[in-house]
Amino acid sequence: MKRSAPEPVQIVKQRRDEALAALVAQVPYAQFLGIRFDRRGDELTGVMEFDEKQISNQVDKVGKRILMKTNVSEREIS
């Protein structure tokens, strides 16, 4: 029984990278967060870059905008 020749390593790596990109593309929240994968050798790392929208409290920002637009002080709401 003859074995077929193994695939070149570069083709295997390319196929893995495409599979990871497809995975992120299918998960909308992963796209929103900016998640990507970084592969170096045999090591695979999930990366999420810094973005202000992931750090701050969005509800608080909206509330402050409403306060500013209506010209109501925070004391009046509390």
User: Cα–Cα distance between 43 and 20 in angstroms, integer?
Assistant: 13
Any domain includes 24: yes
Torsion, Cα 40 51 30 35, to 10 degrees, reads 0
68 — pLDDT class (breaks 50, 70, 90): low
Does 52 reside within a domain? Answer: yes
pLDDT (tens digit per residue) in 12-53: 888 988 998 898 899 998 888 888 888 887 888 989 888 877
Q: Does the residue 1 lie in any domain?
A: no
pLDDT value of residue 50: 84
**Residue 13 belongs to what domain range?**
9-77
Determine if the pTM surpasses 0.85: no
Residue 2 counted as domain residue: no
pLDDT of 75 > 80? The answer is no
pLDDT band for 62, please (50, 70, 90 cuts). low
- Answer whether residue 21 is part of any domain: yes
| Count of the separate structural domains present in the chain | 1
